[in-house]
């Protein structure tokens, strides 16, 4: 069964953890200095917030698959849209390693289809150099982060 994924960039992590914990009636399942995540069953959603220099507000939306087979079904749906898809294999992002497909909706909102393979102890890549955030001025190919959300021809940190 798939799970809806919502990721917001926030200004004050502690205030937002308090707010969303009260809203959802549950504490986050993951809390880091710059990130928190709730894996809710009712509603079934992977809701994440981060404080990493991205513009405040909606960072991206997604659908989390529970298996590689589910992920490939989602990819097949994206292929039917006949637009650019960004594929990432074993991407280190948001304290996890995942296989991903990215696409932008007509408004330019990034949608991530992903299957999480494992958790990791860092937000992005495995070295200090890789953990620095990319910006629209620093393309992903030159970025110091393995965790960039492809959005309408530019990149932002997830």
Strands 96-104 and 154-157: unpaired
pLDDT one-digit tens code per residue, 134-144: 433 444 444 43
Position 158 pLDDT exceeds 70: no
Partners of residue 104 on adjacent β-strands: 110
For the chain, how many helices (H) and strands (E)? Answer: 2, 10
Q: Please state, rounded to an integer, the average pLDDT across all residues of the chain.
A: 82
> For residue 106, what pLDDT is reported?
85
User: For position 40, which CATH number holds?
Assistant: 3.10.180.10
- Of 66, 2, 6, 56, nearest in space to 36 by CA: 6
Where in the sequence is the domain holding 71, given as residue range(s)? Answer: 3-157
Strands 110-119 and 57-65: parallel
Tokens of 135: 């910006």
For CA atoms 88, 72, 36, 8, the dihedral sign is positive
* % pLDDT > 70, the chain: 78
> For residue 147, what pLDDT is reported?
57
**What is the domain count for the chain?**
1
pLDDT one-digit tens code per residue, 87-125: 999 999 889 999 999 999 888 899 999 999 999 998 886
Mean pLDDT calculated for residue range 8-25: 92
> For residue 141, what pLDDT is reported?
44
CA-CA distance, 33 to 87, in Å (whole number)? 28
Position 133 pLDDT exceeds 70: no
Asked if residues 72 and 29 have their Cβ atoms less than 8 Å apart, the reply is: no
Least confident range of 27-36, 59-68, 107-116, 140-149: 140-149
Position 81 pLDDT exceeds 60: yes
């Amino acid at each position: 069964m798939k799970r809806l994924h919502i990721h917001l960039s926030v200004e004050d992590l502690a205030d937002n953890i308090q707010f969303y914990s009260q809203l959802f009636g549950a504490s986050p399942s993951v809390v880091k200095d710059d990130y928190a995540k709730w894996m809710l069953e009712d509603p079934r959603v992977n809701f994440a917030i981060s404080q990493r220099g991205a513009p405040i507000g909606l960072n991206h939306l997604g659908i989390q698959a529970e298996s590689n087979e589910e992920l490939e079904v989602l990819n097949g749906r994206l292929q039917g849209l006949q637009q650019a898809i960004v594929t990432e294999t074993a991407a280190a992002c948001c304290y996890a390693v995942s296989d991903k497909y990215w696409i932008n909706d007509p408004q330019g909102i990034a949608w991530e289809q992903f299957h999480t393979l494992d958790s990791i102890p860092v937000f992005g890549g495995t070295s200090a150099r890789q953990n620095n955030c990319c910006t629209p001025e620093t393309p992903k190919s030159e970025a110091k982060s393995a965790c960039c959300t492809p959005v309408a021809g530019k990149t932002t940190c997830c």
